[in-house]
Amino acid sequence: MTGIRSYNRRVLVTGGAGFLGSHLCERLIARGDEVVCVDNYFTGSRRNIAHLLGNPNFETIRHDVTFPLYVEVDQIFNLACPASPVHYQHDPVQTTKTSVHGAINMLGLAKRLNARILQASTSEVYGDPAVHPQPEEYWGNVNPIGPRSCYDEGKRCAETLFFDYHRQHQLPIKVMRIFNTYGPRMHPNDGRVVSNFIMQALKGEPITVYGDGSQTRSFCYVDDLIEGMIRLMDSPAEVTGPINIGNPGEFTMLELAEHVVALTGSRSTIEHRPLPQDDPKQRRPDITKAKSLLEWEPTIPLRDGLERTIHYFRSHFVD
Ligand code: NAD
Ligand code: UDP
Ligand code: UDP
């Protein structure tokens, strides 16, 4: 039967070698899909997908989504985009291109195939929110010209494109607003708070809290997030989103630092550093829609998720 189209669903995951993408590929393969992973390896790595490489249902293509892509698939998960401020500010023009040109190319691909397409959007579309917690109806408070704008505005424009392809070309779309997510395979040096604090605690280095540490974030464990993503993709066609997926448990950065120190048994002390420009003061998802439309809510509390993540960092990056 080689060469003949099988009955398996064929799914494209852009950014499939990244943190979230690699977990998604794993879950899709586990349920019997054929997965095509597209990545330019800017922030992802082959190490993240090494365990999938021998699988006959998994294939990889080194490709930058800012260029057109011609493949034949039934569904598209568009995750390609650096997610950590350190990475997305490294080449901000490329970041905007990845979100905007990447969305146009993947939407063009989806249009040709009439394939379902899901966009990994972000809570950053709410900017430094004046409404708390954030429901999907909130339009956000985003600086269009600051250092975070390449990411925030790129993602906002991608949402615009998704809804215009939906209205103009009746494309079946799903837009997911992802709130801060953590877990194994986060890049140890990507500057995000969970990976920073864990690496610092494990190495006995000072924990770097930016500002006074009173700013809040809501942290979702990766397995919960991927479950929400798959449920959204498989939801009825009229559920387009945007839909918030995140864990409503809200913590200050000081609280997070204290949890990490306690769970690692570290002797690290806390050191304050300047607060980056435009750093949102608070963030917490309103997940009413995810609960009612997807029957989804997170199940893994911060403490359990941190323990699993600490175990991963300890075994992979620290002697
Ligand atoms: P990540 O940096 O680990 O993964 C992104 C992947 O995209 C990497 O493998 C990278 O190499 C690839 N990539 C980047 N630019 C590309 C391009 N032009 N062409 C092809 N591949 C490219 O980040 P992540 O945390 O896994 O995030 C995945 C997606 O989820 C991103 O779109 C991000 O914006 C979104 N998101 C993540 C979070 C979070 O907390 N992790 C929160 C909100 C939104
Ligand atoms: N595209 C792609 N793969 C496809 C089909 C389209 O990468 O299988 C790209 C194509 O290069 C184009 C973009 O998607 O730039 C948008 O496609 P669309 O059909 O919406 O626009 P048009 O081609 O008419 O500009
Ligand atoms: N942060 C911190 N110390 C660090 C890294 C980040 O205090 O070493 C803070 C950062 O200023 C922000 C929060 O933690 O208020 C979350 O930062 P992250 O970069 O993980 O995500 P984002 O700001 O995109 O939500």
Query: How large is the ipTM?
Result: 0.98
Given a contact cutoff of 8 angstroms between Cβ atoms, the answer to whether 273 and 208 are in contact is yes
- Work out the average pLDDT over 284-293: 98
Task: Tell me the pLDDT tens digit for each residue of 105-130.
Answer: 999 999 999 999 999 999 999 999 99
Q: Which ligand is nearest to the CA of 103?
A: 2
Task: Tell me the pLDDT tens digit for each residue of 178-195.
Answer: 999 999 999 998 899 999
Q: Round to whole Å and give the CA distance between 318 and 306.
A: 16
Token output for 27:
């879950």
- Work out the average pLDDT over 252-261: 98
Does ligand 1 lie within 6 Å of residue 222's CB atom? no
- The pLDDT value recorded for residue 317 is 85
Q: Round to whole Å and give the CA distance between 55 and 98.
A: 28
Mutate to test the pocket of ligand 1, among 27, 43, 123 (most ligand atoms within 8 A of CB): 43
Mutate to test the pocket of ligand 3, among 193, 220, 273 (most ligand atoms within 8 A of CB): 193
The Cα diameter of the chain in Å comes to 63
Cα angle, residue 206 at apex, residues 202 and 210 outer, rounded to 5°: 115
Pocket residues: Cβ below 6 A from ligand 2: 68-70, 104-105, 108-109, 111-112
Does ligand 1 lie within 6 Å of residue 82's CB atom? yes
Given a contact cutoff of 8 angstroms between Cβ atoms, the answer to whether 19 and 80 are in contact is no
Q: Kindly list the structural domains of the chain, giving each domain's residue range(s) and its CATH number in brackets, ordered by start.
A: 10-182+221-247+284-299 (3.40.50.720)
**Measured from the CA of 41, which atom of ligand 1 is nearest?**
11
Name the pTM for this structure.
0.97
Residue with tokens 């750093």: 279
Task: Tell me the pLDDT tens digit for each residue of 23-79.
Answer: 999 999 999 999 999 999 999 999 999 999 999 999 999 999 999 999 999 999 999
Distance in Å, CA 258 to ligand 3 centroid: 15
Q: Round to whole Å and give the CA distance between 281 and 319.
A: 36
Given a contact cutoff of 8 angstroms between Cβ atoms, the answer to whether 15 and 36 are in contact is no
Q: Round to whole Å and give the CA distance between 243 and 235.
A: 12
- Which amino acid belongs to residue 118? L
Distance in Å, CA 91 to ligand 2 centroid: 25
Mutate to test the pocket of ligand 3, among 217, 219, 255, 270 (most ligand atoms within 8 A of CB): 217
